[in-house]
Structure 1
């Protein structure tokens, strides 16, 4: 297979060092393409920059598009110490500050969208506008059975799996499972190609530490959702309580066939955000960038043009 980063970005994969929540330097993998106003694409849980493969080129014709892998994901560094709830908020803020010299357009999906909501509430000066795709702002539980199964496993066990490179030795099985599980986030999962499965699973098979770190993130998410449902202190309810404070223009995008989070959440979220609007994409699942990229790119560009960002 070709180097996806080099094939996608003029300078290939670049690396940025930030100080994370625990005070440790961590290397963040990113790529950029295009010129003009910065537009940052933020992936969801368990994913990496490849999830934006169909959006980068079309959007880069109008903006300086930046993709990055969050700490512990994809090609970014995976540090061994435990993570704490909310670490992504501080790290996203520091990534934006490091890569952008002006307020950015932020396009984010799923957990990345939830994190972006928290960051814009604390740092509105960093955001020119916001696009939220299928954001889990009103979750009841982890949406996927594999996520729930992984979140119940001891981290130490997953570290052993990583250290023994078991995902590499059982790579055929890992890819087969992922291909089948794609049916939950796509309307027509039969169109998934071997190349897509190869790159989606690449970090888990070839980059040690990925499985354990992603599982740790799933455990944190599961704990936060449980606290939300039990009305205990949690980050999600804090984000919910401050939705009305967000003043930057916001587009809420939802796939009408999202099996993870109901499409009715889109209008529910809009009712809490006076500066937002909703776009429902028909025949589209949770993974909108893969499922319906043309419709998604069109919705993003039309929204940005309507809200005063001139396309170059």
Structure 2
């Protein structure tokens, strides 16, 4: 294991850690506390450690805070691998073991939440707790699904087949990575439009300029779904906090929250007036919830 300090456009110095011969970017802030676990922040799809800027500064007053760019995103390497929850689970597990060197509370948004859940459920020795912020991930379909319209099914399969083609993926990626399209997407995901700054757009745009970024984007259409969330929740033994932005257009927060409670009723949850990324849209509220929850269960475990 090796770590190299590099300059960064963020206000917190960043490091590179070598994992499976690939450079992985991370940041660290705050001091370790003997009675408090460190926090590890995990971004969502298309984001990076930059998306936690508003959280790291505040949370590092009370905790040792780490944030990492998952393989394929941000400033981390983007090899032509098959990306999955299992891959990111192993990356996070090795990072905690080799770099942080003690069990951490993982906090993940969207895709990062799913990656964190994979680790906490399947590698519990590395985790002190789990915080999911509008977490992604598939549930097992329990009720019979209605039969789709045959014509719509054919068109859907045709479109999906086209998107699996490298040329189609490349063209779609070139479209969605435009700054104007990134901004329009964020305007759908955030309730408070004032939180959508030029800096935020640039933070998402910058990694897309990496020549290897299109192949990561393409993996969305080629990689099979990972383990189901309900299966992972049945394996979970760590404290669990859910934070939901109720205005998320990509998921019904109340309905999804009920599914989490069904399989892990001892969880704690909060619903906020925000969209898909409440940690960035209403950071003061999210930081306060995280701090209170971690300090409370840390005290109980003393």
Provide the TM-score with structure 1 as the length reference.
0.78
8 Å contact from structure 1 (residues 246, 275) kept in 2: no
* 2:192 aligned with 1:215: no
C-alpha deviations, 1:186-241, integer Å up to 9, x for none? 00225422222112211113x2211321331x2246x42xxxxxxxxxx333x412
The 1:261/1:100 distance shift into structure 2, 3 A limit, reads same
Separation in 1 of the partners of 2:54 and 2:121? 29
1:271 corresponds to 2:271: no
Q: 1:78-93 to 2 correspondence within 5 Å?
A: 78-83=78-83, 86-93=86-93
Q: Among residues 252, 274, 288, which one is paired with 1:284 in the alignment? A: 274
What residue number does 1:54 align with?
54
Aligned residues: 272
> Gaps (5+ residues) in structure 1?
20-24, 141-148, 225-234
Q: Residues 105 and 127 of structure 1 are in contact (CA less than 8 Å); yes or no, is this contact kept in structure 2?
A: yes
Residue 287 of structure 1: CA displacement? 1.0
Contact 2:44–2:113 (CA<8 Å) still a contact in 1? yes
Give SS of 1:308's match. helix
When normalised by structure 2's length, the TM-score is: 0.80
Equivalents in 2 of 1:84, 1:196: separation in Å? 26
Query: How many angstroms does 1:6 deviate by?
Result: 5.3
**SS of the counterpart of 1:247?**
coil
Uncovered stretches (5+) of structure 2, i.e. residues with no partner: 1-5, 142-158
Q: Which residue of 1 aligns with 2:163?
A: 153
Q: 1:179 aligns with which of 163, 176, 183?
A: 183
**For 2:120 and 2:245, how far apart are their aligned partners in 1?**
23
- Contact 1:108–1:133, Cα closer than 8 Å, also in 2: yes
Over the aligned positions, Cα root-mean-square deviation in angstroms equals 2.9
Cα distance in 1 between the residues matched to 2:244 and 2:91: 26
The answer to whether the 8 A contact 2:162-2:168 is kept is: no
Confirm or deny that 1:5 pairs with 2:8: yes
